[in-house]
Amino acid sequence: MKPLVLYRVDLRTADPASALRRIDPASPLLTGTDLAATRGDGVFETVVVVDGVPQAVEAHLDRFERSASLLELPSPDRSLWRTAVETVAAEMDVPRGAVKYILSRGDEVTGEPTGWALGFAPTHHRSATPPELDVVLLDRGYRSDVATTAPWLLQGAKTLSYAVNMAALREAHRRGANDVIFVSSDGYILEGPNSTVIARIDGEYVTPPVEFGILPGTTQSDAFDALTDGGDRVAVRGLTVSDLSGADALWLCSSTRGAAPVRSLDGVAQQVDRAITQRISDFLNARKA
């Protein structure tokens, strides 16, 4: 990634004029005792910015609030964070970038939460056309009821602890692929390390339920709007590995890449529906907020 614009978000005030301070993106930001750095204890969101317009802002704020609540962090001030995202987005001079905004439990010594918002240009997937993916299925090691039976595992929260997700992507690369779909220990399809699954089965577009301990995907949700606008059927329900093998097309949806079609699953070629992919991309890229 290429960092472009960085704002510190001072959480002691809700007034954007005094809370938001632009700093050099190369300058130090955190103390050595910030729990974001020492324990990955915080939450974040990444919003795509197309021609200066941050997209799905309210859906990202909803998920930010949900993640903060799951971690028992102070509830984020929506208006402050919205202003932070819009301010950073407006100051980024790239056709397609992203804003990552972070709420940390804060400095362990002072007990003050910390926040910042970083505008950056992704070095991969900069184009408006999503990449075609080679995907492997990997066991996540949790049952599909983990969110209710073991909520302290924080499945379904977008926390800063992404080391496991990054390790899964390295495992995919070792296997000659470039992305992952996690499977629950009881055999249900979950999500990617940074994406939501959509499978087309018998003409219906299906995504797994968030009750399985996965993130509510903002891109998947908007992709479903694109599909229903075009008269297609969509559904949220559990999918097994064999359901996925029987799907006639698959996508992994995420803010920075959009709806990326899967061209192979565990080494087996998958049909790529470029016409539908284009229709979803056009819809996503035309979002106004």
Judged by CB, which is closer to ligand PLP: 87, or 196?
A: 196
CB of 39 to ligand PLP, least distance (A): 19
Span from 102-110, 169-177, 189-197, 240-248 in contact with ligand PLP (CB under 6 A): 189-197
Q: Is 217 in the site for ligand PLP (CB under 6 A)?
A: yes
SS3 annotation, 32-63:
CCEHHHHHCCEEEEEEEEECCEECCHHHHHHH
Whether 30 contacts 37, CB under 8 Å: yes
Span from 69-77, 119-127, 137-145, 252-260 in contact with ligand PLP (CB under 6 A): 252-260
Q: Is 258 in the site for ligand PLP (CB under 6 A)?
A: no
Burial class (CB in 10 A: 0-12, 13-18, 19+), 163: exposed
CB of 4 to ligand PLP, least distance (A): 19
Q: Is 97 in the site for ligand PLP (CB under 6 A)?
A: no
Judged by CB, which is closer to ligand PLP: 107, or 194?
A: 194
Q: Is 155 in the site for ligand PLP (CB under 6 A)?
A: no
Q: Is 195 in the site for ligand PLP (CB under 6 A)?
A: yes
Q: What is the DSSP string of 201-268?
A: ETTEEEE--GGGT----HHHHHHHHHHHHTT-EEEE---BHHHHHT-SEEEEEETTTEEEEEEEETTE
Q: Is 215 in the site for ligand PLP (CB under 6 A)?
A: yes
Sign, Cα dihedral of 63, 65, 69, 74 = positive
Residue of 219, 264, 270, 281 interacting with ligand PLP (CB under 6 A): 219
Q: Which residue has the tokens 């908007």?
A: 222
Residue of 87, 104, 155, 196 interacting with ligand PLP (CB under 6 A): 196
The tokens for 245 are 């093998």
Q: Is 67 in the site for ligand PLP (CB under 6 A)?
A: no
The enclosing H or E element of 166 equals helix 163-174
Expressed in angstroms, the distance from the first to the final Cα of the chain is 23
Residue of 10, 107, 179, 191 interacting with ligand PLP (CB under 6 A): 191
Site residues for ligand PLP per CB under 6 A: 46, 191, 193-196, 215, 217-220, 253-255
